[in-house]
Structure 1
Amino acid sequence: MTQQLHLLTVATADLDAVRRLYSDALGWEPHTDVPGEIVFYQVAPGLLLGFFDGEKFDRDTGQAHGGVSGVTLAHNVASREDVAPLVAVMVSGGAVVVKPPRESEFGGIFHALVRDPNGVLWEIAHNPTWSIEPDGAVHL
């Protein structure tokens, strides 16, 4: 199998809450939006983040989803001063702060943790030892 990922899908109980956070508050443009079913956002070259209506997700997978657990999605910003404003924007769109902006106990990172309306945990971080190229390549 080629080492790549094209689609990350999250079951959601409320597609409107997804749109309020990701489209309205963050300004993300949907790649594809099927009302009452699923919305996809292009988050990187070759990678879509999809939010699928929970009941339809369960029918499609044949399993009951139990919420998102043990997973974080991360968004790195250019400076530590950029962390709090982005957290505030996410909160304005319906997210909840789990950990306010602060120094991490790991690796010299300044970060915050925010839970979206579906339970997805986002880390908003500035890591001075990382760099992200314009093409999305990450250098550790």
Structure 2
Amino acid sequence: MDQRAHFLTLATTDLDASRTFYIDGLGWSPLLDVPGEIVFFQIAHGLVLGLFDAQKFTEDLGQDGGPASVGGLTLSHNVDSPEAVDAVVSAAAKAGATVIKQPRRAAFGGYHGHFTDPSGVIWEVCHNPGFSIDADGTVRLAEL
């Protein structure tokens, strides 16, 4: 198997609230939107984020029981400056996010803050001076 992923699919407890948050609140454009089931967003070259209704997610896996939930996962969005971290976290809060960690200096030497979307997905907004992407898409992580 190649070392890559093309989809990140998250069980979403309130698909309508998540749709409103990402599309109306953050201004994202859906790649495909299937009301009552799933909404897809292209988030990088060849990478799609899927927000899947939690009960349909469980059924799609062929499992019985209540809706699945997301836990132990953080999605990170890297920006160019500490001021950009502040701006994105503020915009997310205005869109309905719950800020769980106000932006501050991070232990790794950068600057970050965290919020949750309507289904509890944790987002980190980060300025990491050791993070860069080469022209060919290779990610570089330098120790600070």
Aligned residue-pair number: 139
Question: Aligned to 2:100, which of 98, 101, 109?
Answer: 98
Greater Cα offset, 90-99 or 126-135: 126-135
SS in 1 for 2:87: helix
TM-score after normalising by structure 1: 0.91
Could you tell me how far apart the structure 2 residues matched to 1:65 and 1:9 are?
14
Gaps of 5+ in 1: none
**Contact 2:112/2:125 (8 A) holds in 1:** yes
* Residue-by-residue CA offset, 1:103-125 (whole Å, 9 max, x unaligned): 112x1010001111111111100
Greater than 3 Å deviation, 4+ residue runs: 63-66, 132-137
* Residue-by-residue CA offset, 1:38-83 (whole Å, 9 max, x unaligned): 0000011111100111111111113355422111100000001111
Could you tell me how far apart the structure 2 residues matched to 1:81 and 1:45 are?
26
RMSD of aligned alpha carbons:
1.6
- What amino acid is the match of 1:102? R
Partner of residue 125, structure 1:
126
TM-score after normalising by structure 2: 0.89
1:57–1:20 CA distance, 2 compared to 1 (3 A): same
1:118–1:126 CA distance, 2 compared to 1 (3 A): same
